[in-house]
Structure 1
Amino acid sequence: MRIISGKYKGRRISPPKGLPVRPTTDMSKEALFNVLNNHFNFDDLKVLDLFAGTGNISYEFASRGSEPITSVDGDFGCVKFIKQTAAEYDFPIAAIKSDVFKFLEKCNASFDIVFADPPYGLDQATFEKVVLLVFERNILNEEGMMVIEHSKYTKLNHLPNFSFQKSYGGSIFTFFEFESEDFEEESEDGNEEE
């Protein structure tokens, strides 16, 4: 796993083996951040990373100057690794061990970017619940964007606040925001079958 841009561009981070994760590939991550770069200045973006795993996405935001960053995962090993890495690189990341849904139900903060990468094996309703809770709880700022990574077998483009989606290999990024009409020209269905 490497950081693809920003202050720590090219830096390799090696998580311990045995963590229950499926990291976002470098190709997908680069494509995701190219999209975000068209809409945001990364400096001082307040970021929430849900199902953070190894912290792959959190480190990318931190390297680009975003802060503060909150990384949430239910696995003790993942949270421990994120804390260690954040300390080593002086990243402004707060790693929280929590069930993501319990965290969202209690969260009183709001963020400019909410990124979620739930395990692909979760059912459709669970993916939908992540998106719906973020908007119901006003966790996303009005000018912000939520991104959820999922497989082609999960369909989220029917949900309220859907904006557009991008497909990269076996992964799809679906984007949500409050004023989606600005992004209609970029809309892709992302639902092509192989």
Structure 2
Amino acid sequence: MRIISGQYKSRKIIAPKNLPVRPTTDMAKESLFNIINNNYYFDDISVLDLFAGTGNISYEFASRGTENITCVDQDFGCIKFINQTAEKFEMPINTIKSDVFKYLEKATGNYDIIFADPPYNFPDDQFLKIPELVFANNLLSENGMLIVEHSKHTSLEQATHFSYQKSYGGNVFSFFEIESE
């Protein structure tokens, strides 16, 4: 995987083969960050990266100037790898080793962007639980956005606060926002 833009543009990051991950493809990641770039200033936002895996998405935010990034993953190897990479590049990434659903049930905080990339083989009710918990616990800032990555075989359009989705090959990003009054 590589960092697409920002301070660490073109840097390759090689994750250990034994991590239970499926990193977001460069094409999908570039398209996602074009959408985010049109809505936010990277140096002004706070980010929560759920099911962080290799940290691929968090490195991209850090490279573009985001200084408030939290990664949550339950795999010790993933957390260790993210910590090592963040230290190597001096990136402001905080990690939390936790089951994402348990974390969301107890989380307090306010994030401008929450990105979730759960395993594609999750049942639909697990995918739907992510926006349910994020909005029930008011984890998004007023103009915040929840982005859930999933396969084209999963539909999240029926979820509360669903706004729109974008597809890139087999990857789909569903966007959720607080409805303005």
Distance in 2 of aligned mates of 1:17 and 1:3: 19
- C-alpha displacement of 1:131: 1.1
Deviations 1:69-92 (A, max 9, x none): 000001000000000011111111
- In structure 2, what is the equivalent of residue 114 of structure 1? 114
Map 1:1-194 onto structure 2 (within 5 A).
Answer: 1-179=1-179
Question: Is contact 1:162–1:180 with CA below 8 Å preserved after alignment?
Answer: no
- C-alpha displacement of 1:155: 0.8
Distance in 2 of aligned mates of 1:76 and 1:52: 11
Distance in 2 of aligned mates of 1:18 and 1:180: 44
Aligned residues: 181
Q: Name stretches of at least 5 consecutive residues in structure 1 with no aligned partner.
A: 182-194
Distance in 2 of aligned mates of 1:157 and 1:22: 23
Distance in 1 of aligned mates of 2:25 and 2:142: 29
Q: Name stretches of at least 5 consecutive residues in structure 2 with no aligned partner.
A: none
Distance in 1 of aligned mates of 2:15 and 2:142: 35
Distance in 2 of aligned mates of 1:67 and 1:166: 27
What is the TM-score with the length of structure 1 in the denominator? 0.91
- C-alpha displacement of 1:170: 0.3
Distance in 2 of aligned mates of 1:84 and 1:18: 16
Report the RMSD for the aligned CA atoms in angstroms. 1.1
Distance in 2 of aligned mates of 1:58 and 1:172: 18
- Percentage of matched positions with identical amino acids: 64
Provide the secondary structure at the position in 2 that maps to 1:3.
coil
Provide the secondary structure at the position in 2 that maps to 1:163.
strand
What is the TM-score with the length of structure 2 in the denominator? 0.98
- C-alpha displacement of 1:44: 2.8
Distance in 2 of aligned mates of 1:3 and 1:44: 20
- C-alpha displacement of 1:179: 3.1
- In structure 2, what is the equivalent of residue 187 of structure 1? none
- C-alpha displacement of 1:160: 1.3
